[in-house]
Amino acid sequence: MAFCPNCEAEYRAGITACPDCNIELVSELTPETSVHDKSDAEPVKLRSFRNSAEAEMVSEMLEQNGIRSFVEGGEFAIIPSSFSQEVVVMVDERDFARAVELYEAFFNSESAPSAEEKTDNQ
């Protein structure tokens, strides 16, 4: 038995690729293999958040800029035991440097609360 890691369709043995998604099948669906778009790069942790709304906002912003990203943890938990309290934005390792730049630019322009603690008042 083989499964498509993208659409999770089941195929019988002998079939090696999903005709709908055009990607290689896996022998079993695990949280690892069912993560979308993991074909040739590892996802890496960009940053963790305390709530999924904020993490989702960042992930959406990154995707709008062409960064492959997804949210893990919170209500999206695929490994509930290890990330129960933490919501993590994961990005493709090839996009990591750009994701950090975008993230910082995004929060600098959005009046981040911590920016007011600057001590350059002389």
Binding interface with Zn ion (CB under 5 A): 4, 6-7, 18, 20-21
Q: Can you tell me the distance from the alpha carbon of 114 to that of 87, in angstroms, rounded to the nearest whole number?
A: 20
17/79 with CB nearer Zn ion:
17
Q: Can you tell me the distance from the alpha carbon of 81 to that of 102, in angstroms, rounded to the nearest whole number?
A: 30
Q: Can you tell me the distance from the alpha carbon of 44 to that of 12, in angstroms, rounded to the nearest whole number?
A: 33
CB of 31 to Zn ion, least distance (A): 17
CB of 15 to Zn ion, least distance (A): 11
Q: Are 107 and 122 in contact (CB under 8 A)?
A: no
Query: Which uninterrupted H or E stretch holds 10?
Result: strand 10-11
1/7 with CB nearer Zn ion:
7
CB of 91 to Zn ion, least distance (A): 23
23/57 with CB nearer Zn ion:
23
